Each structure stands twice: as C-alpha cells, then as structure tokens.
C-alpha cells in the first residue's frame, strides 16, 4: 500500500517558518554595546564608579542594590509576596537570612495592603522597598498609588509630611511567553498623575545605581520597573561598591547627528540593533540613541536639545502606542522644536491590542519596525 503523495513535505516541527530574518534576529546580549562586557567601558557611562566590579545579571544587580540599601540604613525594609525565599525572580535572595524577618518579610496576597502599609511606614520615616510580583498585578494598588502616595506631600502642605524613601518595584515587559498578564508595561499610567518618579533601568549597572538613588536619596516616592526579560538575559560588569545614578536625567548612550531615537528598558537593545543595521545600510548617517531612564519627571532638556540638533525623532516603547509615553514626548517635541523638525516624530510601540500569547513578536516593536521608521524618517 502506498500513501498518496503529499502536495507539500511533512512538517518536521510543530511549526516552521520560511522566514530568513536579517533584522529580526535575537539580540546577542554577549556582544551588545549597551552592556559593559568588561569594566574598561565604565568610563563611557557617566556616574559609574571605576573601582572593583563583578559580573552580574539584572536580578543580581537588583539584589546587590537591595542588600547595599538594607546594610546602609536600619530604616530600609523590604516586603512583598514571596520575598522571603528570594522572590519569584530571585531579586531578594539571601536578604532575609542576612537582615532578619523584621526587615525582610513576606506579605499576604494584597497589593493594596502592601502599598498602603508601605505608605504608612514611609510617612513615619521608614524606607519601605516593596515588590509587586508583576506589573500586571499593580492595579489593586492603583488607588493607593494615585490617590494617596501621589498626593501625600501635597495635601500635608507645610507639615512637611512626605513619602521620600518609598519605592515600589515591579517586573514589567514582555518575556516571550507572558501573554496578557505577565507582559504589561503600565508606566504611562503612573506618569499622568504626578507625584511619583517612574524609573526603568536598561541594564544591571544602571539598575543598581538608579535603585540605590531611589531608596537612599530620593525625597519623592519612586516606581521602579524592571524589564523582566533582562533579569537573566542582561549580564555585565557591575561596580561592587555603593553608588547612585541621578533620577530624572536621560543618558545619551550613543551620539549621532541625523536622527534621535528615544527609548527605555528592553527596546533600547532593539533600537541599538536597528541603528547598527541602518548605519551600515545608509552610508554616512549617524543616529543618536537616548535612554530616558526616568520616564517621569523626564529630562526634557536633553531630548529637546538632541532633536533640535538632529531634526528627526523616533520614540520606541513596548506598551501600546495610544496614550503612551511616546505621545507625551512627541507633543513636547513638536511644541518645543517645531521649526527644527525635518520629519514628523514617529512612535514605534506596541499596537493597540493586548499581548496575546502567540502574537507577541508581531505586537512588540522589533528591529525591522525601528529600521523602517529610521528609513521613513530619513527619506521624509
């Protein structure tokens, strides 16, 4: 007996693709220029101390910052769901053993209870660093964040009551398989009602310095969003000592003359790859890449100065384009740099939909889309 001939060959895998990507290839975190593969490149990044350094992943750098903060002041507390054993992303490993259950402890499953309690403790002088397990689960705490913490100093007025030292940490962003509820990046929601500083680090060395700044120096409460895909993927040299990086200061990661790309968090790696391809393909073009670092209050001066000079801007972020961070930056640029613009400000961001499991690669900004935006902007 012979089988009928198949019109096309049997599939050997559950799925296959005929795509042969040139642009949308996985980011090679071992060679990306965004990470410090040895500590000689520390000199290129303002604010990084040049003393001894150690190779750390993002979660290890966060752990290092928490450990440093807990050691430096008895006021620092660390609590949230599953903190005690080390946290679902291992950011709090070893902390309870070192600092004891008074300072590092599990909270019951209540984001509103966690953030509300942190507010009360911060109001009385503690520095509570609380963890929301996934940014997708911050919403029960939304009232405490926007109605209470954001307005605390304002409504206290001259009593001086404030929540400096309160930090709410949460992993955010796509990880490849997070689907609707382990992928969200709600940073723009916390930028609309003022009162918090909203910070997104791009790398382990940035995360340690920014988090220490948030905990030990900031007089304003901070929301600290850690791109979860980078927890393990991003590995680099990180200074071993305690150091702070400034909040509300953007960083020009790569200077350029013809176009400015503004981004933060994981998409910076995408932008870096797109810039590499574009500078290779469009001879003579140089593209400036800026990391916003603090999403709000943001460093408008650095971005406006850059775009006034280059005349072209693209904003890239993972979360939806509608009413996102890009909208604010674009509006500010057209208001402040209108006559300098050679092309409209483009926003490359998540499409206006939810991040369905098997569609993530089509929804998140990828190298091809950023490359295409660069090309369109240059050709406008």
Partner 1 sequence: MNFLTSSDLAPIPTYRVMNSEGYLNDPNRQPPDVSNDQALTWYKNMLTVNILDTIMFEVQRQGRLSFYMVSAGEEAVTVGSAAALGPNDVITCQYRETGVFQQRGFTLKDFMSPLVANRNDPGKGRNMPVHYSGKQKTGVHAVASTLGTQIPHAVGAAYAFKMEAKENPTESPRVAACYFGDGAASEGDFHGALNMAATQDCPVIFICRNNGFAISTPTSEQYRGDGIASRGIGYGVDALRVDGTDIFAVYEATKEARRRALQDGGRPILIEFMSYRVSHHSTSDDSFAYRSKGEIESWKTGYNPLSRLRRWLENNGLWNETMEKETRSAIRKAVLAELTAAESEQKPALRAVFDDVYAELSEEQLAQKEELRRIMMKFPDEYDVESHEGGIAGL
Give the residues lining the site for partner 1 (CB under 8 A): 74, 77, 102, 105, 107-108, 110-126, 128, 140, 143-144, 147-148, 151-162, 164, 194-195, 197, 219-220, 248, 297-301
Q: Which is nearer to partner 1, 126 or 370 (CB)?
A: 126
Q: Is 236 a catalytic residue?
A: no
Smallest separation, CB 27 to partner 1 (Å): 33
Q: Which is nearer to partner 1, 30 or 110 (CB)?
A: 110
Smallest separation, CB 258 to partner 1 (Å): 27
Closest to 290 (Cα-Cα) out of 299, 280, 281, 277: 299
Instruction: Exactly one of 111, 131, 148, 236 is catalytic; name it.
Output: 111
Rounded Cα gap, residues 212 and 161, in angstroms = 22
3-state secondary structure 161-220: CCCCCCEEEEEECCCCCCHHHCCCCCHHHHHHCCCCEEECCCCHHHHHHHHHHHHHHCCC
Smallest separation, CB 364 to partner 1 (Å): 29
Smallest separation, CB 343 to partner 1 (Å): 25
Rounded Cα gap, residues 20 and 327, in angstroms = 33
Q: Which is nearer to partner 1, 9 or 157 (CB)?
A: 157
Instruction: Exactly one of 131, 182, 236, 328 is catalytic; name it.
Output: 182
Smallest separation, CB 324 to partner 1 (Å): 18
HSE-up (13 A, CA, CB side) for residue 73:
18
How far does CA 234 lie from the centroid of its chain?
12
- Inter-helix orientation angle 300-310/325-336, to 10°: 60
Cβ partners under 8 Å of residue 128, min gap 6: 76, 77, 78, 79, 117, 118, 121, 122, 165, 166, 167
Closest to 263 (Cα-Cα) out of 170, 367, 179: 367
Bridge-based pairing of strands 167-172 and 197-199 is: unpaired
Q: Is 182 a catalytic residue?
A: yes
Q: Which is nearer to partner 1, 117 or 242 (CB)?
A: 117
Smallest separation, CB 218 to partner 1 (Å): 8
Smallest separation, CB 326 to partner 1 (Å): 17
> Which residue pairs, CB below 8 angstroms and at least 24 apart, start in 183-187?
183/136, 183/355, 183/360, 184/134, 184/135, 184/136, 184/319, 184/355, 185/135, 185/225, 185/265, 185/317, 185/318, 185/319, 186/135, 186/138, 186/319, 187/223, 187/225, 187/295, 187/319, 187/325
Q: Which is nearer to partner 1, 41 or 117 (CB)?
A: 117
Please say whether the beta carbons of 247 and 215 come within 8 A: no
Rounded Cα gap, residues 139 and 142, in angstroms = 5
Q: Which is nearer to partner 1, 128 or 326 (CB)?
A: 128
Q: Which is nearer to partner 1, 299 or 366 (CB)?
A: 299
> What residues are annotated to the active site?
111, 182
């Amino acid at each position: 007996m012979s089988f009928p001939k198949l019109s096309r060959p049997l599939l050997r895998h559950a799925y296959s693709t005929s795509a042969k990507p040139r642009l949308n290839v996985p980011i090679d975190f071992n060679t990306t220029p965004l990470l410090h593969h040895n500590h000689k490149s520390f000199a290129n990044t303002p604010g990084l101390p040049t003393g001894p350094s150690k190779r750390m992943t993002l979660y290890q750098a966060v752990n290092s910052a928490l450990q440093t903060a807990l050691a430096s002041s008895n006021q620092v507390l660390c609590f949230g769901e599953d903190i005690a054993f080390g946290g679902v992303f291992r950011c709090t490993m070893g902390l309870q053993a070192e600092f004891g259950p008074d300072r590092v402890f599990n909270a019951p499953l209540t984001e509103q209870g966690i953030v509300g309690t942190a507010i009360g403790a911060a109001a009385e002088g503690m520095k509570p660093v609380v963890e929301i397990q996934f940014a997708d689960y911050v919403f029960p705490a939304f009232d405490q964040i926007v109605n209470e913490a954001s307005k605390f100093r304002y409504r206290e007025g001259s009593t001086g009551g404030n929540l400096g030292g309160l930090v709410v940490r949460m992993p955010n962003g796509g990880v490849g398989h997070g689907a609707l509820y382990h992928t969200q990046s709600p940073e723009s929601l916390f930028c609309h009602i003022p009162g918090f500083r909203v910070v997104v680090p791009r790398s382990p060395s940035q995360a340690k310095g920014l988090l220490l700044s948030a905990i030990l120096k900031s007089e304003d409460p901070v929301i600290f969003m850690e791109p979860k895909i980078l927890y393990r993927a991003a590995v680099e040299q990180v200074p071993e000592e305690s150091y702070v990086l400034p909040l509300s200061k953007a960083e020009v990661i790569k200077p350029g003359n013809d176009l400015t790309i503004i981004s933060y968090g994981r998409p910076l790696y995408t932008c870096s790859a797109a810039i590499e391809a574009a500078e290779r393909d469009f001879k003579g073009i140089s593209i400036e890449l800026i990391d916003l670092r603090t999403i709000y209050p943001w460093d408008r001066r650095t971005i406006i100065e850059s775009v006034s000079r280059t005349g072209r801007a693209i904003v890239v972020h993972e979360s939806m384009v509608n009413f996102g961070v890009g909208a604010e930056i674009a509006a500010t640029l057209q208001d402040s740099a209108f006559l300098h613009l050679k092309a409209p400000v483009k926003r490359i961001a998540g499409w206006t939909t939810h991040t369905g499991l098997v569609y993530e690669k089509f929804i998140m900004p990828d190298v091809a889309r950023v490359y295409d935006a660069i090309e369109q902007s240059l050709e406008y």
